[in-house]
Structure 1
Amino acid sequence: MKKAILPLFIIITLIVSSFILYPDAENKSDYAIVIHGGAGTILRKDFTPEKETLYKKVLQEALQIGDSILRNGGSSLDAVEKTIRILENSPLFNAGKGAVFTNSGKNELDASIMWGKDLNAGAVAGVDDIKNPISAARKVMENSEHVMLSGHGASEFAKTQGLEIVDQSYFFTQNRWDHLQEILKKEKEMTPEDRHGTVGCVALDKDGNLTAGTSTGGMMNKRFGRIGDSPIIGAGTYANNASCAVSCTGHGEFFIRLGVAKDISSMMEYQNISLEEASNKAIDKLTQIGGTGGIIGLDKNGNIVMKMNTNGMYRAYSNSKGETEILIYK
């Protein structure tokens, strides 16, 4: 009789322990991906059905690229890079082809990427001739001893890596140019929320590795070589397999001051709270000091957050459970 009781006791103990140690096990996703295309004053009244369809089509294309890579066992690094490249190649978003103009009428691009497995990271800032800055950021991470390269030096490095270099005219889009002219006419009336935008992606692969990436054209009408949070590891981008992957969008100066992306990870680690709770606290902190924007995030179990304190954020997600959604308005 005693021999039968002992194995049963062990089995019950193991089952109970599994729920204590791994409370989210039932909800765990083999893979997941989340993307954003910037947050700000995005109102339904300003969108025609055709315009809304156009944005959603590009978001869907980007999401499908990343989802396909992850579904077939690819790395989250590949998924994030390839997904962001789609958004960089679209004139709809403030990154790559759709980058906004500086006060002097130029395009200056920033990007970063981080690998949660070993905390390796790469970034480029203030570049003006690299077609896909997110790919340059990855090359910095993988093929250099540095984390961030800027300006002409970053471009020279990109050339050695075989990346596509383009004439600055490639980044010209008429609507971005017209927007700059409008801002120059009524500069004092514009708020920072009217001028910024970013694209980003976070992904979890089947090996349990998290990656975060962010790319931007920066703030419309920026001066003096201004750099925002997007290429700064810990501010606009952060990934750690022990906690989460985060990409931010918004008024970068505030995200830098708070170190938002790393702060979310740290709150999860040190306060033992969920990604949802940590993200809500981060947005509250941002709001308290007057910052605007949004975040997307993934934890190691594939739990998703898409938070903002603005009127909208272009965003989408999908995962191995077949859940998917594309959203624009708050």
Structure 2
Amino acid sequence: MKYLTSLLIAVAFVSCKTTVPKEETKEEIQQNEFAIVIHGGAGTILKKNMTPELEKAYQEKLEEAVRKGYDILKNGGSSTKAVEASIHVMENSPLFNAGKGAVFTNAETNEMDASIMEGATLNAGAVAGVKTVKNPISAAIEVMNNSNHVLLSGAGADQFSKEKGLEIMDPSYFYTDRRFKSLQRIKDKEKTELDHDEKTAFYDSDIKNSKFGTVGCVALDKNGNITAGTSTGGMTNKRWNRIGDSPIIGAGTYANNNTCGVSSTGWGEYFIRGVVAHDIAAQMEYKNVTLKEATHDVIQNKLTKLGGTGGIIALDKNGNISFEFNTAGMYRASMNDKGELIVKIYKE
């Protein structure tokens, strides 16, 4: 009987040792040697409010932006260079709420924010409330690489950028009719409440999207380094030098080579409260969940229950890509090491 019991224990021990732990999912194995993902903001983006010409313009600019970074990665360039190049394309376009297309504050000025983080070292830089820097993402990179600080704001951030030789523009450069008229419509809404029937679909869209609009990029290079960056003009009609999540490391931007990189877009106050970008990476590290599981839980469960709206783009250390948002749409695009391109606008 003793011999039989020992034999049964031995068999059980061998069975335990030879059992495959848990079935590997596609997200737990290497998918891409390098990859890049971008977003141009999330919000009430509906096809019925989009002309075919404007839709095409967004699609073409998203493709241009993602290809810019992809070419750098393909040729062995760093993820930071790829992120900067892709975001430059969107910052230089009036289509997006960043750089040239930045929205207006209540005082009818443009105040821009940006941040960058490198997953290899956890080094980071950010600027908030700049008014003259043509490409705020480059200012964030200068803060990261050439200062002892992480976040600079206002006139000081503008002065720092000028001293570092970045391109400085007259504030009039950032003026666009589209954004200025959007501000005026929102101000009009504050002055008088109109009946719903009196509002056009585009008017409604202005009001709903006043809290949204950001551009971002996450890239994984051939050396296994992840970089995430985010740039924005902030919230239309914002007052008192309001700052959202975009320049806040851990809320709007986060990168860690051990887990993933994340760039956020949406109602910034909620992304700050939920420390959204870092929470995704933390779930992967501490709960050992996949990128898709972490992004879904944070955006669809935690952020939604908190009352926040928006989305994220993310890329894990294995080159897996995630788009996650709880709004009607999000401008987004990605490319992997096989050159496969995805460009989307609406929720599908």
CA distance in 2, matches of 1:218, 1:122: 18
1:94 to 97, 108, 125: 97
Question: Residues 27 and 320 of structure 2 are in contact (CA less than 8 Å); yes or no, is this contact kept in structure 1?
Answer: no
Shift of 1:196: 1.9
Q: Which runs of 5 or more residues in structure 1 are unaligned?
A: 1-15
CA distance in 2, matches of 1:110, 1:124: 5
CA distance in 2, matches of 1:288, 1:104: 33
Aligned to 2:332: 315
**Which stretch of the first structure deviates more once superposed, 130-139 or 283-292?**
283-292
Aligned to 1:214: 230
* Larger Rg belongs to: 2
1:198 to 200, 208, 214: 214
Shift of 1:137: 0.1
The count of aligned residue pairs is 315
Shift of 1:23: 7.3
Per-residue CA deviations over 1:205-244 (Å, capped at 9, x if unaligned) read: 0000000000000000000010000000000000000000
Equivalent residue letter for 1:114: M
**Which stretch of the first structure deviates more once superposed, 283-292 or 86-95?**
283-292
SS state at 1:261 partner: helix
**Which stretch of the first structure deviates more once superposed, 69-78 or 320-329?**
320-329
Question: Residues 332 and 345 of structure 2 are in contact (CA less than 8 Å); yes or no, is this contact kept in structure 1?
Answer: yes
Equivalent residue letter for 1:175: R
Shift of 1:324: 1.4
Matched, 1:29 2:28: no
2:318 to 297, 301, 305: 301
Aligned to 1:75: 78
CA distance in 2, matches of 1:302, 1:308: 20
Shift of 1:289: 1.2
Question: Residues 40 and 312 of structure 1 are in contact (CA less than 8 Å); yes or no, is this contact kept in structure 2?
Answer: yes
Question: Residues 255 and 286 of structure 1 are in contact (CA less than 8 Å); yes or no, is this contact kept in structure 2?
Answer: yes
Question: Residues 100 and 175 of structure 2 are in contact (CA less than 8 Å); yes or no, is this contact kept in structure 1?
Answer: yes
Question: Residues 41 and 194 of structure 1 are in contact (CA less than 8 Å); yes or no, is this contact kept in structure 2?
Answer: no
Alignment of structure 1 residues 282-301 onto 2, 5 Å: 282-283=298-299, 284-301=301-318
SS state at 1:285 partner: helix
Per-residue CA deviations over 1:28-78 (Å, capped at 9, x if unaligned) read: 211000000000000011112111110111111101100000000000000
CA distance in 1, matches of 2:208, 2:170: 29
Alignment of structure 1 residues 247-286 onto 2, 5 Å: 247-283=263-299, 284-286=301-303
Question: Residues 40 and 194 of structure 1 are in contact (CA less than 8 Å); yes or no, is this contact kept in structure 2?
Answer: no
Question: Residues 29 and 318 of structure 2 are in contact (CA less than 8 Å); yes or no, is this contact kept in structure 1?
Answer: no
SS state at 1:287 partner: helix
Question: Residues 37 and 313 of structure 1 are in contact (CA less than 8 Å); yes or no, is this contact kept in structure 2?
Answer: yes
Question: Residues 193 and 250 of structure 1 are in contact (CA less than 8 Å); yes or no, is this contact kept in structure 2?
Answer: no
Q: Which runs of 5 or more residues in structure 2 are unaligned?
A: 1-18, 194-203
- Normalised TM-score (structure 2): 0.87
Matched, 1:229 2:245: yes
Equivalent residue letter for 2:263: S
CA distance in 2, matches of 1:58, 1:99: 16
Cα root mean square deviation, aligned: 1.9
Identity %: 62
CA distance in 1, matches of 2:130, 2:160: 11
Question: Residues 193 and 292 of structure 1 are in contact (CA less than 8 Å); yes or no, is this contact kept in structure 2?
Answer: no
Shift of 1:195: 3.6
SS state at 1:38 partner: strand
Aligned to 2:186: 183
